[in-house]
Structure 1
Amino acid sequence: MARSGALAASAASMAFSSGHSWRIIPRPVLETILNNFANHLRVPQPLLLHGPRGVGKTSLLIHRLLPEWNKGPHITGYVDFAANARVPWTSSPPGDHPSFTTRLERELEAMAERGVHLGTISSASVFFALNKWHGVGGALRRLIGPGRLTKRDEAVPVSALWNKALIAFKARIGYSETDVALGEAASREEAAFMREAVVALRLAKEVLGMHQEWRREAVMNLNRTGRFSRSLANSATDWPCLLLQILSDAAEIDFFQPKLVINNIDVLRRTVITDDSAVTAAMYHDSLIWRVVEMGVNDKCLPVIFITSDSYYSYQVFIDFGFRDMFIFRETFGWTHEQAKLHMTADFFSESEWKVIDEVLGPNPRHLSELYALKQTDSYQHPNSQSNFEDIVDVYLAYLQVTVVNPAMESALALLQKFSSDVRSGKILKEQLHFGAPWRHPPPTDDPVASLKWAKIQLMDFVQSLVNTEFGVNYLADKSFEILDDPALVAMLEVGLLYQQRDPSFIRPITVGIQRCIVRWLVQERMQMSFPDYMSFMWQRIIRGRSYRHLMKEIGYK
């Protein structure tokens, strides 16, 4: 089984890496919603586009929307935090936090430079946005230097210090660096205007960097004590939020209409920070979102679109922020069975092939694209090939099992082991370990073998309970919300195998194909169990086992 699965995975991965023609089919309703939002000059709320993996959110954006959003007066900054993910079906491994923040800042800086070239961003507009939210007098005096300050400068307004700091900073960085950003200007006056604006942007970044350096010890103390400080959290996002403010103020209808799209915003929340003088990734993520929301409510902000497949954003994010209407929320589930059949049977699959696909994999567009790529390989197109379409589907399921589901379940087991360790160290609230909870009694020692055994039994128990509910659980049907405390559910949501919808409020596997692979994993684990482990599993099922049948999907929902 393992060898055949590995061979299948190798064949499938070769198929997916090879080029194949696949048509991006328009989605008029969703495209109209996104276009209407993006064409506004400024908006009071960001938009959150949410949906399971593989339904075509990124493809629709890249191939259908972004080209139109970069024509004429429109300019769109696009940042994809999961652009280098090798396995698109599950959550990306955490990356280095500074590289992600740098990517965001560079995109915003490029948009600001475009505004400078168009003449909508000037030195005065940079100073106005900076001085509106930050006290910059001390930093400007330090940048000017004590030798260039007189007693008269102690009483001058901040705007005078800004002009003096511009001159000093321009002399420090020289013309060569600013000329690279300027490119070609139409006249000497325009070049001088643009050069001053570019220097102003660099000066503003230097001032905020100085502020952040002054808070370095405070942030280190914050990380040591585990406390929270809104001002320190906001200091980490001062520069990107200042650029957003400058771009929003500079926007002009039919001349300069900037917008920002951040894809896979959930990856930013899980990045790794090794510098103790920087705030945590979750704190940076929360500060960025909150300040974008705040900017929209107070002054209106340029259109910002967040895209994610993480279930955290369907329900829990609104609980954490305490504001249900913080986003314009749009959830997409891809095609229905009828829509997929209409689009696929004409050009890609026959009627008989579609019946197999519909039953085994469902209408998920990524499944269909990958399966079509596998179908087009030489192994199955050769005239002497003995393989039929069912064999192709079996190979694809083996690929999903080996490269997607099995590694994700291993990650879920690691998360459950971490939960067991957190219980022993007292990091888990007593309310989550209430009487009768199936996960209430993890191993009392830090024995890794016992911890792994407990985690596997918990995960198998949870999957079995999902099988008993036919993989459809309404998490808001019970006001106790007990299922949301289940560490096995949290683990499977975090690795990306399950998806938590917002409306209707169901928890289910991301696709029918992934659901089949999860059941295969359960059967395989039960077959490989020793007799003592099997008895422990059955004892868990009978005595402490989960039962979520009272949360089953209502009749009429698919």
Structure 2
Amino acid sequence: MAAKKPWRIIPRPLLETILNNHAQHHRVPQPLLLHGPRGVGKTTLILQRLLPDWNKGPHLTGYVDFAELMKGNLGTSPGPWASWSTCPQPRLSDCRKILEHCVESMVEKGVSAGTITSQQIFTTLNKWHGLTAALRHVLQSKSRASDRASPAALWERAVFAMSRECTTAEVGRILGFGENEKNGLSFEEASYMKESVAALKLAKKIIALQQGWRANAITHMNRTGLFSRTLTHSCTDWPCLLLEFLSQAAEIDHFQPKLVINNIEVLKHATVNSESTVSGPLYHDSLIWRIIALGANERCLPVILVTSDSYYSYEAFLEFGYMEIFISREVSVEGLLG
């Protein structure tokens, strides 16, 4: 019955102020939900009014629209207010790809700005993941690591090995230099930046290795209908780890990243064609839960979720077990004056 509550009209200037105030913080305790009827101009507001300013100076904003994966299937539908339920749902693998690509590119900007370092990547990765087995696997054909070596020592060796695999073009792309453009960095600065690039590449490889090791367990979970929070969260390890890198690196007036995810409800209905990964609803819930947890425990970069699904306003708190899971829910989720 709550879903039938009439939309409350909020003037556009007031809504812009709410969103801008949220985005100006470098870290926040909760994500913000922008909820309104389809077709009233939420996407236009974000893309045309807010994103240009949110990418100036120290600000960096990633934008993901899961509905972009479905727009090719809309056919002759009258516009963005058409129901997604009439279209074939996108594959979860495609949704993951665009989300991870967006957040990875943001982290690369942090690396090029010098705010995300090899040591930070190791510290964060080591906090949540056992690294010894994965690092030994990476090093087995690279060097003879001592059986008693600490994760930190193994990490240094693995980063050194990975740095030799990083081409000049790859490092230049991440640091924002063209093929024939002189980077202007000293030898020490270039080595420091290359180490960070190699560390990011190594972190991605470690997460991929660990996900591969869990593939059979996830297949068993899917076949038996059992549930494991650890296995489910493992599928969102990489994007959530990247969000944590960004959150820790955020600094007022220097590096202020933020993320906008449009049509988040599409992720909830994404389809899978492999038993070695979790379903769309489980991936969706894991991603949102971990963003909420990061904000509550350590503060997270501003994340804005845009949706036309009333589930997030009236039902999500029942499933996640906390009434105020989103910032300014009463203010920001209602109708939008065009």
Q: Give the TM-score normalised by the residue count of structure 2.
A: 0.88
Q: Which residue of 2 aligns with 1:334?
A: 336
Q: Which residue of 2 aligns with 1:142?
A: 137
Q: Which residue of 2 aligns with 1:101?
A: 96
1:51-72 C-alpha deviation (Å, 9 max, x unpaired): 1112211111111111111111
In the alignment, structure 2 segments of 5+ residues that lack a partner are: 1-10, 178-182
Q: Which residue of 2 aligns with 1:297?
A: 296
Which of the numbers 174, 182, 191 marks the counterpart of 1:181?
A: 174
Superposed displacement of residue 171, structure 1: 2.7
Larger radius of gyration: 1
Query: Which protein has the bigger helix share?
Result: 1
Closer, same or farther: CA 147–254 of 1 in aligned 2, 3 Å:
closer
Q: Is the 1:268–1:281 contact (alpha carbons within 8 Å) kept by the matching residues of 2?
A: yes
Q: Is the 1:76–1:261 contact (alpha carbons within 8 Å) kept by the matching residues of 2?
A: yes
Of all paired residues, the percent bearing the same amino acid is 52
SS in 2 for 1:59: helix
AA aligned opposite 1:56:
G
- How many Å separate the matches in 2 of 1:55 and 1:141? 54
Which of the numbers 111, 134, 146 marks the counterpart of 2:106?
A: 111
- How many Å separate the matches in 2 of 1:182 and 1:293? 31
Q: Is the 1:182–1:195 contact (alpha carbons within 8 Å) kept by the matching residues of 2?
A: no
- How many Å separate the matches in 1 of 2:109 and 2:161? 25
SS in 1 for 2:90: coil
SS in 2 for 1:252: coil
- How many Å separate the matches in 1 of 2:105 and 2:336? 33
Q: Which residue of 2 aligns with 1:73?
A: 58
Superposed displacement of residue 160, structure 1: 0.7
Q: Which residue of 2 aligns with 1:162?
A: 155
SS in 1 for 2:102: helix
In the alignment, structure 1 segments of 5+ residues that lack a partner are: 1-25, 336-364, 366-558
Q: Is the 1:143–1:169 contact (alpha carbons within 8 Å) kept by the matching residues of 2?
A: no
Q: Which residue of 1 aligns with 2:278?
A: 279
1:34-49 mapped onto 2 (5 Å cutoff):
34-49=19-34
Q: Which residue of 2 aligns with 1:434?
A: none
Q: Which residue of 2 aligns with 1:518?
A: none
Superposed displacement of residue 174, structure 1: 4.2
Q: Is the 1:264–1:307 contact (alpha carbons within 8 Å) kept by the matching residues of 2?
A: yes
Closer, same or farther: CA 111–296 of 1 in aligned 2, 3 Å:
same
1:141-162 C-alpha deviation (Å, 9 max, x unpaired): 1100167224xx2222211110
What do you get for the CA RMSD once the two structures are aligned?
1.5
Q: State the aligned residue count.
A: 309
Q: Give the TM-score normalised by the residue count of structure 1.
A: 0.54
- How many Å separate the matches in 1 of 2:91 and 2:141? 38
SS in 2 for 1:148: coil
1:194-218 C-alpha deviation (Å, 9 max, x unpaired): 2111111110000000000000100
- How many Å separate the matches in 2 of 1:319 and 1:45? 17
Superposed displacement of residue 252, structure 1: 1.0
Which 10-residue stretch deviates more, 294-303 or 307-316? 307-316
1:245-291 C-alpha deviation (Å, 9 max, x unpaired): 00111111101000000000000111111011011111100000000
Q: Is the 1:182–1:191 contact (alpha carbons within 8 Å) kept by the matching residues of 2?
A: no
- How many Å separate the matches in 2 of 1:156 and 1:132? 18
Q: Which residue of 1 aligns with 2:38?
A: 53
1:312-391 mapped onto 2 (5 Å cutoff):
312-328=311-327, 329=329, 330-335=332-337, 365=338
